[in-house]
């Protein structure tokens, strides 16, 4: 049986995911553009926090966004409708049992999902079956083990370590960002390219201070 999602599915988590996505939209999405007519699978879309940016950056792509959580999907549909998104279809589905034919998608987009899964390589393999030959996958994950503070803060490191431990107990890996290259290679992907994306925050960037996930990212 799958262990519970470490952040839960409550309203506070919905707000956290939305703040995180809004803060990071340029950092994460600036180079994610899919051609008109291409079929894109967003796996683990949650409350749709990345979906709207995906849609806006690729307005003529045909995006299918899936998640196992019906509660999160309902919120994703609500938000996408409010944002006027018209090129996204939402479906409830499990990454390990997707209801699509092999090779159905040109591109796959996965953001902050593998870090919660006990079997990330198997998840990547399951997704690969649904990519057409020559298709691409974009995977964005955090790495909570690579946060630095000035002045140094023991309390901040303790808080992060608490999350790392809880996520590990739930079967995940909050430091998975640094492992993306071997994970993708082990899952059979070729031409893997990892691009570390640092989130730097100081008092001159109040929006980032408010919405910062507090950890560097790997893409």
Ligand X SMILES: C[S@@+](CC[C@H](N)C(=O)[O-])C[C@H]1O[C@@H](n2cnc3c(N)ncnc32)[C@H](O)[C@@H]1O
Q: What minimum distance in Å lies between the beta carbon of 97 and ligand X?
A: 8
| Closest residue to ligand X in the complex (CB) | 46
Strands (E), the chain: 39-43, 62-67, 88-92, 105-111, 131-142, 196-197, 217-218
Site string for ligand X, 88-117 (x = CB under 6 A): ------xxx--------------xxx--xx
**Residue from 44, 120, 172, 213 in contact with ligand X (CB under 6 A):** 44
Smallest gap from residue 151 Cβ to ligand X (A): 30
Number of H helices, E strands in the chain: 7, 7
| Total interface residues for ligand X by CB under 6 A | 20
Give me the DSSP letters along 140-180.
EEE-TT----SS--HHHHHHHHHHHHHHHHTT--TTGGGGH
Told to check if 49 binds ligand X by CB under 6 A, we report yes
State the Cα–Cα distance between residues 117 and 97, nearest whole angstrom: 14
In whole angstroms, give the CA distance from residue 219 to residue 207.
22
User: Which range of residues in 52-60, 68-76, 100-108, 185-193 is near ligand X by CB under 6 A?
Assistant: 68-76
Residue 69 sits in the site that holds ligand X (CB under 6 A): yes
In whole angstroms, how close is the CB of 175 to ligand X at the nearest point?
Answer: 15
Give the footprint of ligand X on this chain (CB under 6 A): 5, 17, 21, 44-46, 49-50, 67-69, 72, 94-96, 111-113, 116-117
């Amino acid at each position: 049986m799958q262990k519970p999602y470490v952040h839960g599915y409550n309203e506070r988590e919905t707000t956290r995911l939305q703040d995180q996505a809004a803060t990071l939209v340029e950092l994460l999405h600036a180079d994610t553009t899919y051609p008109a007519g291409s079929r894109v699978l967003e796996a683990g879309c949650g409350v749709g926090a990345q979906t709207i940016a995906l849609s806006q950056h690729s307005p003529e792509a045909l995006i299918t966004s899936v998640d196992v959580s019906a509660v999160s999907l309902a919120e994703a549909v609500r938000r996408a409708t409010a944002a006027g998104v018209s090129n996204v279809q939402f479906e409830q589905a499990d990454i390990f049992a997707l209801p699509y034919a092999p090779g159905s998608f040109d591109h796959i987009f996965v953001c902050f999902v593998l870090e919660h899964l006990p079997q990330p390589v198997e998840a990547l393999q399951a997704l690969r079956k649904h990519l057409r030959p020559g298709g691409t996958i974009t995977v964005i994950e955090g790495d909570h083990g690579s946060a630095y503070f000035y002045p140094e803060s023991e309390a901040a490191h303790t808080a992060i370590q608490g999350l790392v431990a809880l996520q590990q107990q739930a079967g995940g890996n909050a430091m998975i960002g640094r492992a993306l290259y071997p994970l993708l290679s082990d899952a059979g992907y070729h031409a893997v390219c990892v691009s570390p994306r640092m989130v730097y925050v100081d008092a001159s960037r109040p929006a980032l201070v408010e919405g910062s996930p507090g950890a560097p990212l790997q893409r």
